[in-house]
Chains A and B, each alone.
Chain A
Amino acid sequence: MLLLLPLGGQDLTEGQQLLQDGRYHDAVKYYSTILQSYPGNTAVLNGLAEGQHRSGDPMTAIKNYKKSLSIDPQQPDTWISMGNIQYYHQQYPEGEFSYREAVRLEPGNPRAHNNLASVLKEQQKLDQAILHFEKAFELDPQYALACRNLGDIYLRQGKSDFAVQWMKTAVGLDPDNMRGQYWLGKAFYLSGEFDNAKDQYLRILVGKPDLHSVHHDLGLAYFGMRNYGPALDHAKQAIRRNHAIYTYYLSLSRIYASLHNEIMAMAVLDSALNYDRSLAAVWIAKGDIHKTAERYEDALNDYKIASSYNLDDWKGYYKQGVVLYYLGRLDSAQSVLEAAAEKHPHQSGIHHFLGLVHLGKNDLAEAQLYLTIASEKDSVNGDIWFHLGQAYKHLKQFEQARASLENAIGIDSTHAEALYALGQIYTKLDQKEKSQKVLKKFRVVADFEKAEKKLKKQLSLKPSDNDIRRELALLYESRKDFLSAAEIWQQSYFLGDKGATAELERVKEKMK
């Protein structure tokens, strides 16, 4: 809001009108002229600054705002205006300062709090951002934008329940705001409420059927519900409407991969690469499919290409290292993993696989060091604890091995390898009964995993074979893994097994 200071009897209405009409260059001329006569007039300076900002000269605008504020620092709106320019040009510390001044001068200004919170959010100062967004809402309970912003922060923090709560409030306050509806859908999706997310997105599409991002997210919501038909349909529609967004291809590929349709999953990624071969993330997704199918040479090739297009990204190097490890080329694996570590020293997976490489090379001290670091960075990863246990075992530190392996089992009670290794350690420690108990459990788990792997392999060769799916579903049921069984029955239904509906209902009953 501009202050209209009387200038020797002339007001600035004309200038303001020019700004409102969008005639920013004219507005700049107007204010520049007046400024010559009234160089110390803050209203003129503010008007000029706004005109300059709107006409694409933000830096000069900031200069004039600063001039205005040097004359009269008690202008909360001016601080906000300057802060807005700084925010949009990613000068976040400067923007924070400006907004803080606005809040200091006008603590009851909800917009000031909202904007301050926004710039704090961009600097990942999320807790402080939450405080100011909440303050903005407290000051103005109709402030839908503040609610949406709060919901977004909770989304970033993974607190999906809170995100849903705030997004719902925002939508309640501003039901016509499509962005709010969309973000509510996202919040539902991230909190696992796929059905609600689906409803949200469908609601949006009624009014705006061409929104590609909504089609994409709706596809993911259906996928979350394992409703494969509409999932595929909407994921494809997203691509049809905008073929330039690579994440859409990744999502569609993922849906096909979950149906064990590797050929289609790969074809989708290849079509993304037809548009742009430098999409590193797509090469990585291809590599992941190859790796899952144990086609490690192909996976290695894909990851190498990904790295060549994105030299600074640790992921490509890390994944190369993993595949090289599986290929038994330990020296090469070590080399690329070290390159990945340079780019991202805090990634637990890199340390984990460096530990494995050293374990394979019998460099036990190095192995133990890397695996310990990995366990510190990711203390809930059962595999890391298992491998650390193996390192201790090789070092003949059996008590430490026992502790690490017990950690692994504590995280994942069906970790077959850890169960076996722990059984061996108990035997070494002369705890025969414990050993036998653990080894018996291992056998059950290992037999299941072998049967599961065999069926999945068969499925990868014949993705439409519902007899194999049936066997797999029953295998999961035998292990009381009804969630996995339900997913397989849903796949069967999608692929034409009408009897799968009844089986699905039966399994859902068991899940209750």
Chain B
Amino acid sequence: MRVIGLFFLNILLISFLFSDEFLFKDESESQRLIFTHDHGGSGEKYYVETMGSGVCLLDYDNDKDLDVYFCQGAALPGWDKNIVLENKLFRNDGGRWMDVTADVGVGDTSYSIGCTCGDVDNDGDTDLYITNFGTDIFYRNNGDGTFTNVTDAAGIKNQSWGSSAAFFDMDNDGLLDLYVTNYVEYSLDKNPWCGDKRTNRRAYCDPDFFTGAEDHLFHNLGNWVFKDVSVSSGIAAQKGKGLGVIPADFDQDDDLDLYVANDKVMNHYYINDGQGSFEENALFTGLGFNENGRAEAGMGVDIGDVNGDGWLDLFVTNFSGESNTIYINSRQGFFSDETFLAGLGQPSLKYLGFGTKLLDLDYDGWLDLFVVNGHVIDNINYFNKDYTHAQRKQVFLNNQNGTFMELSPDQIGDASHLSVGRGAAFGDLDNDGDVDVVIANNNSAANLLIRTGTPNRNWIGFSLEGVQSNQDAIGSRVVIETDGLKQIKYVSTAGSYLAANDKRLLFGLNNYPTAEKITIDWPSGTSDEFTDLKANQYYQIIEGGSISAIHY
């Protein structure tokens, strides 16, 4: 019996190893999603060259499929190519992509870094915010397939080096507010020479050379009027070197707190008092540093309940030579860095992580992990033979016991290809119930990773619409219970790096044909509950209890 048992175990193991359920295929060429980022450099190693760029997923035309917006660089001194560099919007035409930038009016030609999107005015269409090295741009969606630049009119003024941004409702008044992380104080005419003087090899500088810049928090007053509340909210009291941001209700007190990943200085954890004030408390809650008390690079971020205890944990991508970091929520107001215990430490040391997502890839109800990598120093191999500029993505499966296991390159298809990854936006681009990935690579072509492998398990998806709450339902908590397994997710477009994700939520249901109980806690304070929803289907849920299956 034992021999037979071992035999079947080996078969299972072998079948897992050769499984194609996690395969991704880069369809950027075949589907004509052709975008090449140009960092505008000419060999002077301007610091801004190496950090971008970002990408956003949004259904700008409300035709029920996600479109893609890419951020582009701009000419820097010495750049002499004869092309126009502008941000690009591609319309999703179902397996084909069309550059509609010129028609739509979102081709900003500033040096763009990242973007975020959300329905700022609750009119049912998605608006767009671009962070720039220079003045940020705010585009209002006119609802007719075009956008208008309303930056000045809206009272938004961010002229620093903006990086990641996030829309969230900080005071649950039904209007999306805006948090913008700013990186460092830097100007092109003060670009230090960094690198190895002995061999005259120049490299991009270390963030230690620069002072951090203040982040900004803009309160949405309605009617396209925003007020900069950075000072009154307490945000401006801290100066970090912000690269990643994610709003989430970490302490489960029904308001959205903020986590900001800072580059080589303490990360910030702002606890929302619900009244418009934020208290920074990363040091005493274990979120500021890694377990050794070291400030790490801190780029991409995501949140999720990785251990199934109902509380949000946090994942941050870091530099090569540092591990990425997973902070496990102790449920008592503090977090522990359990990266190495989770098996996520050593595998990440060689890589430099940027965009990232916690997502259920095998639909077993447990969150897995996708990390996009790429070094910032293009000649890094000279300084460390183990490192390369272009790096592969990494995918880790949750073992359901506090540890993760990395999938081999063979198992993830084109996701194993090397690239200089930066912003990564995650969403179901083909509406087939699995998550695809669009990656903006630095100074090179973007990737469109379509999930071709399919897990042999069930899933369920939700698209929420607020009524009293903000129309995007950002900040809504969705809890699914099936056969004792409880999964919790929050609606958000934020997270990853310089990106905005699909705000729909996908849950794995293992082999269960239905989700037994679904509870929605809306930001307005109301709740809706549903039972026995059939699997393998998206549902539209409107605040107040209305639910309907979505047919794409």
Contacts and interface: CB of A to CB of B under 8 A. Distances in A.
Interface magnitude class on chain A: 35 or more
Interface residues of B, number: 30
Interface string A449-460: 010011001000
A420 B197 contact: no
B289 interface: yes
Contact of A328 (B286, B336, B340, B346): B346
Contacts of A263: 198
B349 A362 contact: no
A421 B343 contact: no
Contact of A360 (B283, B295, B340, B385): B340
B108 to A, nearest CB: 35
Contacts of A493: none
Contacts of A446: 289, 293, 295
B383 A297 contact: yes
Contacts of B197: 461
A471 to B, nearest CB: 14
Contacts of A296: 384
B289 A420 contact: yes
A328 B334 contact: no
B284 A390 contact: no
Contacts of B291: 390, 393, 420-421, 424
Interface in B312-354: 321, 330, 334, 336, 340-341, 343, 345-346, 349-350
7 contacts: A297-B384, A326-B321, A394-B340, A394-B341, A439-B284, A450-B265, A457-B208
Nearest to A462: B197
A416 B293 contact: yes
A417 B346 contact: no
Interface in B197-255: 197-198, 206, 208
A359 interface: yes
A407 to B, nearest CB: 17
A394 B420 CA distance: 34
Contact of B386 (A328, A359, A362, A436): A328
Contacts of A450: 265, 295
B293 A421 contact: yes
Interface in B402-452: none
A311 interface: no
A436 B284 contact: yes
A263 B197 CA distance: 10
B294 interface: yes
A136 interface: no
Interface centre among A297, A328, A416, A442 (most CB of B within 10 A): A328
Contacts of B82: none
Given A297-B384, A424-B336, A435-B284, A362 B293 contact: no
B199 to A, nearest CB: 10
Contacts of A419: 293
Contacts of A421: 291-293
Closest 4 CB pairs of A and B: A420-B293, A328-B349, A417-B292, A417-B293
A359 B283 contact: no
A327 interface: yes
Nearest to A329: B386
A457 B192 CA distance: 14
A111 B294 CA distance: 62
Interface string A341-373: 000000000000000000111100000000000
Given A295-B196, A297-B384, A328-B321, 16 more contacts: A295-B383, A297-B383, A327-B386, A328-B346, A328-B350, A328-B386, A329-B386, A330-B346, A361-B346, A362-B343, A362-B346, A390-B292, A419-B293, A420-B291, A442-B283, A457-B208
A299 to B, nearest CB: 11
Contacts of A295: 196, 383
Contacts of A417: 292-294
A447 to B, nearest CB: 9
B192 to A, nearest CB: 9
A443 interface: yes
A60 interface: no
A431 interface: no
Interface string A417-450: 1011100100110000001100100110010001
Interface string A388-419: 00100110000000000000000000001101
B345 A360 contact: yes
A6 B275 CA distance: 117
Contacts of A297: 383-385
Contacts of A461: 197
B292 A420 contact: yes
Contacts of B293: 416-417, 419-421, 442, 446
Interface string B149-177: 00000000000000000000000000000
B371 to A, nearest CB: 16
Contacts of B265: 450
Interface in B278-306: 283-284, 286, 289, 291-295
Interface string B345-365: 110011000000000000000
A206 to B, nearest CB: 42
A297 B206 CA distance: 18
Contacts of A420: 289, 291-293
Contacts of B345: 360, 362
Contacts of A428: 330, 336
Interface in A309-333: 326-330
A296 B346 CA distance: 18
A95 B349 CA distance: 59
A383 to B, nearest CB: 11
B292 A439 contact: no
B27 to A, nearest CB: 34
A427 B349 CA distance: 28
Contacts of B346: 328, 330, 360-362
Contact of A424 (B208, B286, B383, B385): B286
A359 B340 contact: yes
Interface string B372-400: 00000000000111100000000000000
Interface string A284-324: 00000000000111000000000000000000000000000
Nearest to B197: A461
B384 A327 contact: yes
A289 to B, nearest CB: 11
Contacts of A328: 321, 346, 349-350, 386
Nearest to A362: B340
B353 to A, nearest CB: 14
A464 to B, nearest CB: 13
Contacts of A326: 321
Contacts of A390: 291-292
Interface string A262-280: 0100000000000000000
Nearest to A460: B197
A498 to B, nearest CB: 28
Contacts of A435: 284
Contacts of A439: 283-284
A63 to B, nearest CB: 62
A190 B392 CA distance: 55
A263 B330 CA distance: 49
A454 B341 CA distance: 31
A69 to B, nearest CB: 66
Contacts of B198: 263
Nearest to B337: A424
A263 B196 CA distance: 11
B529 to A, nearest CB: 36
B466 to A, nearest CB: 37
A454 B208 CA distance: 7
A420 B295 CA distance: 12
A328 B198 CA distance: 25
A461 to B, nearest CB: 7
Contacts of A359: 340
